[in-house]
């Protein structure tokens, strides 16, 4: 990992605009050397921030982007809890990404089959039986420290710590049917997939996130929270947060001026 950057913004709008610039710049970089730019999206509060700011980037050509989902809730796309459904309504109508380049789950399948099916889609799109390497993943963090659908104290996390669970550890995505946050059935990227990415960006806003950010970024007692286990092996790691979310941090952070690029 090439060093974590914690960047604090005075407002969600400024954060969002820098996030959009960051996505655009990493897309340009990926497309200058490769055939596509692979971007993994999360749900929750990220959806509206990204959907507002990304279409505002001038001359954004998304025709060679490949979109995946860091996690997804196992509900129909028409359900307000569906992350794909939210992006379809709020973003995909505003930027042109060929439909076949958006890798969504099949919500009609039972959760285990759904995870296997989604893993198969990733494997085909990345043309590998190994862990896919995304150019960029956008993550959120819940007040409990979860990220993707990886929750504190969940066996999916223990898998990453105990070699006896090696088979599971190597999975690209996993099903979860007991999510403490509804809806209970979900599909999520595993930590090995998250940590293989070239660039991982957490987005966190609002005062309700201040205590968990303090714990994840500056340490606390007890086992590491899921978000604290995100440490890309060779990629970049950004935390983009607003002032209320950063309120309890005492470690060094960056406060870029207006329009600054990361």
Ligand X SMILES: O=C1O[C@H](COP(=O)(O)O)[C@@H](O)[C@H](O)[C@H]1O
Instruction: For residue 40, state whether it binds ligand X (rule: CB under 6 A).
Output: no
β-pairing verdict for 71-73 and 186-189: antiparallel
**90 counts as binding ligand X under rule CB under 6 A:** no
Q: Give the nearer residue to ligand X in terms of CB position, either 12 or 196.
A: 12
Name the one range near ligand X by CB under 6 A: 53-61, 89-97, 137-145, 226-234: 137-145
We find the least distance from the C-beta atom of residue 232 to ligand X, in angstroms, to be 17
User: With binding defined as CB under 6 A, does residue 42 bind ligand X?
Assistant: yes
Contact between 149 and ligand X (CB under 6 A)? Answer: yes
Cα–Cα distance for residue pair 78/96, rounded to 1 Å: 21
* Residues 34, 237: Cα–Cα separation, whole Å: 21
Among 16, 142, 232, 235, binds ligand X (CB under 6 A): 142
Q: Interface with ligand X includes 18 (CB under 6 A)?
A: no
Categorise residue 3: left if φ over 0, alpha if ψ from -120 to 50, beta otherwise.
left
- Could you say which of 132, 140, 226, 235 contacts ligand X (CB under 6 A)? 140
* 175 counts as binding ligand X under rule CB under 6 A: no
Shortest spacing between CB 181 and ligand X, in angstroms: 5
**Diameter of the chain by CA atoms?**
49
Closer residue to ligand X in complex, CB, 10/184: 184
CB of 8 to ligand X, least distance (A): 17
Long-range CB contact pairs, 140-143, < 8 A, 24+? 140/42, 140/43, 140/44, 140/45, 140/46, 140/202, 140/203, 140/204, 141/202, 141/204, 141/209, 141/212, 141/213, 141/216, 141/227, 142/44, 142/181, 142/212, 143/208, 143/209, 143/211, 143/212
Residue range at the interface with ligand X (CB under 6 A); choices 22-30, 44-52, 118-126, 231-239: 44-52
Q: Where are the beta strands (DSSP E) in the chain?
A: 4-9, 37-41, 65-69, 71-73, 136-139, 173-176, 186-189, 199-204, 236-242
Single out the segment in contact with ligand X by CB under 6 A; choices: 5-13, 135-143, 152-160, 191-199. Answer: 135-143
181, 220, 224, 247: residue in contact with ligand X (rule CB under 6 A): 181
Contacts (CB under 6 A) with ligand X, residues 205-224: none
Binding residues (CB under 6 A) for ligand X: these are 42-46, 71, 139-142, 149, 181
């Amino acid at each position: 990992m090439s060093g974590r950057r914690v960047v604090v913004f005075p407002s969600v709008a400024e954060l969002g605009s820098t996030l959009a610039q960051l996505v655009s710049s990493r897309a340009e970089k990926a497309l200058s050397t490769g055939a596509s730019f692979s971007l993994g999206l999360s749900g929750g509060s990220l959806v509206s921030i990204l959907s507002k700011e990304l279409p505002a980037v001038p001359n954004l050509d998304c025709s060679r982007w490949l979109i995946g989902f860091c996690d997804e809730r196992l509900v129909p796309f028409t359900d307000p809890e569906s992350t794909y459904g939210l992006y379809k309504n709020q973003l995909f109508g505003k930027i042109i990404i060929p439909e076949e380049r958006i890798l969504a789950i099949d919500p009609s399948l039972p959760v285990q089959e759904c995870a296997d099916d989604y893993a198969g889609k990733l494997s085909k799109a990345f043309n590998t039986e190994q862990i896919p390497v995304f150019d960029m993943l956008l993550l959120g963090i819940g007040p409990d420290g979860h990220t993707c659908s990886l929750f504190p104290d969940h066996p999916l996390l223990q898998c990453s710590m105990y070699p006896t669970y090696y088979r599971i550890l190597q999975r690209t995505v996993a099903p979860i049917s007991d999510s403490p946050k509804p809806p209970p059935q979900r599909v999520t990227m595993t930590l090995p997939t998250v940590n293989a990415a070239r660039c991982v960006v957490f987005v966190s806003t609002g005062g309700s996130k201040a205590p968990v950010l303090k714990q994840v970024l500056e340490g606390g007692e007890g086992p590491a929270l899921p978000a604290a286990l995100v440490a890309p092996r060779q990629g970049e790691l950004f935390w983009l947060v607003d002032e209320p979310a950063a309120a309890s941090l005492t470690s060094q952070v960056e406060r870029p001026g207006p329009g600054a690029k990361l």
